[in-house]
Amino acid sequence: MSVPEPFFIRPISKKGATDCCILLDRPAYNRRSQHTLSNIRSLHRSPLAQLIDGKSIAQEIRNEIRAEVADWVHTGHRPPQLTVVLVGDDPASASYVRGKQRAAEEVGIESTTLTPDPSISEHELVDLVEKLNRDPDVDGILVQLPLPPHINPTRIIATIDPDKDVDGFHPENAGRLMTGQKGFIPATPFGIMELLRRSNVSIESKECVVVGRSNIVGKPTALLLGGPTGNGTVTLCHRKTVNLASHTRRADILVVAVGKVNLITADMVKEGATVIDVGINRVPDPTRKRGYRLVGDVDFKNVEPKVARITPVPGGVGPMTIAMLLRNTLTAATRHAFA
């Protein structure tokens, strides 16, 4: 072991063992105290966090699904089928849907994207979804959000057959999750739990804090962390929470899903915590070809040295969402075959 001057090591002999203590050379300390204190602090600085590589874990899951689909087809079943309904011309939605389609094809899942005219009425979209519900060759239905302003997304989601609702947004699937029954888990919370499991993060008896209470991420994540699969002790925070930092500092596992840049700073995080950053935000960056870069809700640069594990943005939770959507689609296909 080495220490910076003006400290020195004195051995201490004990029965059957040798220990040591660090002593201070007082005159040298008086001459260089400021420099020395800085060096001593550096001995105790926490190492950088382990990055939870969502991209790598998602690829691992895709490889598993590909093998399972191949076995499924080999036994005489048709490939699982996913139909995505994309209404409107939102660039982000279109890009996301293309990514889903590529991922599905990669693992052997058949994928179809329907693009009705943006002027389609709510009644007509309901009719389209009901037609897909009745189609025995469709295993999974996903209506890409957001929808045009004249269409009520709640009504459309409620129209999807719960057994084909691979996004896990239908009220019946939400109820199944709440009561511990078999159903479809929303892909992002499902992915968060899989990230934790495959990163060997123990949830049981841990303090878990979820920031954000959306129906898509926050609420179902809290249920999963605190339910029989997690057995954590969960606090759910939101925009009306008073003194947010007093809650986040207690968290052994902190999940943030709000959509606000640098919402969580280093002083709000417990030493050695695991941080899952679900946020995806665009910030201007003239050095990038596209003029912006993606960041999360967590001040990554300053939080990373303080915690044990953290997901990056991008490359953390995002890839897991599509991977778990594929997992839900394969599950739907097997359930339909044996219904």
Q: Which residues of 158-167 are buried (b: 16+ CB within 10 A; e: fewer)?
A: bbbbbbbbbb
Residue among 53, 81, 100, 277 flagged as catalytic? 100
Helices H / strands E in the chain, number of each: 11, 13
240 among known catalytic residues: no
pTM listed for this prediction: 0.85
d(CA 273, CA 207): 10
| Amino acid letter, 254 | L
206 among known catalytic residues: no
Q: Could you give the count of Cα atoms lying within 13 Å of 2 in the half-sphere of its Cβ?
A: 3
59 among known catalytic residues: no
Residue among 81, 144, 270, 299 flagged as catalytic? 144
Q: Beta strands 7-14 and 17-24: pairing type? A: antiparallel
Contact 84, 128 (CB under 8 A): no
Q: Provide the residue-wise pLDDT of the chain in tens; the chain has 339 residues.
A: 444 444 444 554 444 444 444 444 444 444 444 444 344 333 344 567 899 999 999 999 999 999 999 999 999 999 999 999 999 988 888 988 999 999 999 999 999 999 999 999 999 999 999 999 999 999 999 999 999 999 999 999 999 999 999 999 999 999 999 999 999 999 999 999 999 999 999 999 999 999 999 999 999 999 999 999 999 999 999 999 999 999 999 999 999 999 999 999 999 999 999 999 999 999 999 999 999 999 999 999 999 999 999 999 999 999 999 999 999 999 999 999 998
Go through the domains of the chain in sequence order and give each one's CATH number.
Answer: 7-43 (no CATH), 77-184 (3.40.50.10860), 186-320 (3.40.50.720)
Q: Beta strands 233-237 and 207-211: pairing type? A: parallel
Residue among 53, 139, 165, 167 flagged as catalytic? 167
